[in-house]
């Protein structure tokens, strides 16, 4: 049985965690994106499925959870308990899963920020969580006194939020929810899929909404122009002035001769990426750009299994969205289990660490060393990180396992 989505997708991870709890075997299929259109024809909704089994394709996680857990205490035979679990799964899908996904999509920059929609999504999430808080004050689990797929579904839906937007202030009025989440997310089967969950210290904010471009004014008829020839006097103090548009400090740096977009296109469209590195060194504006070696400092238990570690890498890269216009590089997983490492090399505008990375909730756990443009060893390491991206290649003496090009 195969999960047809990327690591870190809550819907796919709900299935993977449930499978681990009941002893079923599932694997994440890496070619699902290439097969999406073909697979969509196999479903009722004509949408790309997230799960493939001998008995069919599924576009939603809930029926898969029920199939996997039907002979297990996670989905008890008691019809009353089944009804309560089903009721929660249906309710949380609309009242929590959708608004929390919209909130996170705006934070990660995968959808444009809409202030009104964001505010509503945040309010919907908080309202639902306070309802759950009251229930968990009376019961150790969502339904009754034992773990069910209702708990797995909710914990997976909230994991990215706990990592990114539920900071200490947000969590403070929800002690029962937090205690419950710590209990569920600490299960070995949950950790085997998600990895250890580091709670957000500071909430990551959605980028500011893009300014709306007003259409040009319609031409005014000649007679109307004559009527308006004598404008009324407006006191300068009373006149409303447009709000100043926020300027990124990086846009105020001295002009650079290095064209980042051209470089991204060149290296990503070249099979032998090392062959174009002379072009990079020739055109590099050393004063306007800096390169940094990044090494994630693992918590205990991290890096022992590929699935949760790749999940962690994808989350790290997603949260870099705010610096995309000003940066390039490679982040990847290197080494062998159970001693995998997340490392990389990033190029960015200016000589200091970008604010978008300082705001990144995982970046504080990373060692970062600035490359010396004149050091031959540093230049070789940059070329290795950006050029050695295939199976059996090595970087810093470690085998390449997973690569995420940041472009």
Amino acid 25: pLDDT: 81
Residue 199's CB: how many other CB atoms inside 10 A?
16
334 closest CA partner among 291, 290, 381, 268: 381
Amino acid 59: pLDDT: 75
d(CA 93, CA 239): 48
Q: In this structure, what token pair is assigned to residue 19?
A: 């499978």
Amino acid 311: pLDDT: 79
Amino acid 195: pLDDT: 85
Amino acid 339: pLDDT: 92
Residue 287's CB: how many other CB atoms inside 10 A?
13
Strand 289-296: give its sheet, edge to edge.
366-370, 289-296, 341-349, 327-334, 398-406, 394-395
Question: Burial, 301: exposed, middle or buried (Cβ in 10 Å; 0-12, 13-18, 19+)?
Answer: middle
Amino acid 230: pLDDT: 56
d(CA 81, CA 84): 5
Could you say which DSSP state residue 97 is in? I
Amino acid 366: pLDDT: 92
Radius of gyration, alpha carbons of the chain: 25
How far is residue 142 from each of residues 82, 134, 163, measured CA to CA in Å?
A: 12, 10, 21
Pair 34, 40: CB distance under 8 Å: no
Spatial neighbors of 141 by CB under 8 A, at least 6 apart, are 147, 148, 150, 151, 180
Write down the mean pLDDT value for the chain: 85
Residue 125's CB: how many other CB atoms inside 10 A?
26
Amino acid 45: pLDDT: 64
CATH class of the structural domain 250-406: alpha beta
Spatial neighbors of 212 by CB under 8 A, at least 6 apart, are none
Amino acid 232: pLDDT: 53
d(CA 29, CA 380): 34
d(CA 132, CA 52): 32
Q: In this structure, what token pair is assigned to residue 272?
A: 């032998």
Does CATH place domain 79-194 in 1.20.1050.10?
A: yes
d(CA 325, CA 125): 31
Amino acid 288: pLDDT: 94
Q: In this structure, what token pair is assigned to residue 99?
A: 């608004």
Q: Name residue 346's beta-bridge partners.
A: 292, 329
Could you say which DSSP state residue 96 is in? I
Amino acid 395: pLDDT: 95
Side-chain-side CA neighbours of 1 within 13 Å: the count stands at 22
The helix or strand, by DSSP H or E, that contains position 3, with its residue range, turns out to be strand 2-3
d(CA 25, CA 13): 13
Amino acid 387: pLDDT: 94
Please identify every stretch of the chain with a pLDDT value under 50, giving residue numbers as ranges. Answer: 238
Amino acid 221: pLDDT: 52
Residue with tokens 């978008």: 356
What's the helix, strand, coil split of the chain in %, to 5? Answer: 45, 15, 40
Q: Name residue 2's beta-bridge partners.
A: 27, 52
d(CA 261, CA 325): 9
- Which of helix, strand or coil describes residue 172? coil
Q: Name residue 252's beta-bridge partners.
A: none
């Amino acid at each position: 049985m195969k999960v047809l989505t990327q690591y870190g997708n809550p819907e796919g991870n709900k299935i993977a965690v449930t499978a681990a709890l009941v002893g079923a075997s599932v694997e994440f299929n890496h070619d699902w994106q290439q097969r999406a259109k073909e697979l969509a024809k196999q479903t009722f909704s004509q949408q790309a499925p997230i799960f493939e089994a001998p008995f069919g394709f599924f576009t939603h996680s809930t029926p898969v959870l029920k199939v996997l857990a039907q002979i297990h205490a996670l989905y008890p035979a008691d019809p009353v308990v089944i009804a309560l679990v089903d009721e929660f799964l249906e309710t949380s899908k609309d009242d929590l899963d959708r608004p929390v996904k919209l909130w996170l999509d705006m934070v990660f920059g995968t959808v444009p920020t809409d202030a009104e929609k964001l505010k509503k999504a945040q309010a919907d999430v908080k309202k639902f969580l306070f309802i759950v808080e009251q229930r968990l004050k009376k019961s150790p689990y969502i339904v009754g006194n034992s773990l069910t797929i209702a708990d797995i579904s909710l914990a997976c839906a909230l994991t990215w939020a706990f990592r990114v937007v539920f900071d200490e202030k947000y969590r403070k009025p929800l002690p029962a929810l937090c205690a419950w989440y710590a209990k569920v997310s600490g299960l070995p089967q949950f950790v085997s899929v998600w990895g250890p969950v580091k709670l957000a210290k500071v909430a990551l904010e959605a980028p500011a909404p893009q300014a709306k471009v007003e259409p040009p004014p319609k031409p005014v008829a000649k007679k109307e122009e004559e009527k308006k020839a004598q404008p009324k006097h407006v006191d300068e103090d009373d006149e409303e002035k447009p709000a100043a548009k926020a300027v990124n400090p990086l846009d105020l740096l001295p002009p650079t001769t290095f064209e980042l977009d051209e470089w991204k296109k060149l290296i990503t469209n070249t099979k032998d990426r090392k062959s174009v590195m002379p072009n990079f060194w020739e055109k590099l504006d050393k004063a306007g750009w800096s390169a940094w070696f990044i090494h994630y400092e693992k918590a205990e238990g991290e890096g022992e299994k590929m699935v949760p570690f790749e999940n962690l890498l994808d989350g790290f890269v997603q949260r870099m969205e705010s610096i995309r216009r000003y940066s390039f590089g490679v982040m990847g997983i290197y080494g062998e289990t159970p001693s995998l490492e997340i490392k990389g090399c990033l190029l960015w505008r200016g000589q200091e660490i970008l604010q978008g990375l300082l705001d990144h909730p995982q970046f504080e756990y990373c060692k970062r060393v600035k490359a010396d443009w004149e050091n031959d060893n540093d230049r070789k390491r940059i070329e290795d990180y950006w050029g050695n991206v295939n199976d059996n290649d090595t970087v810093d003496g470690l085998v390449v396992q997973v690569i995420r090009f940041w472009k």
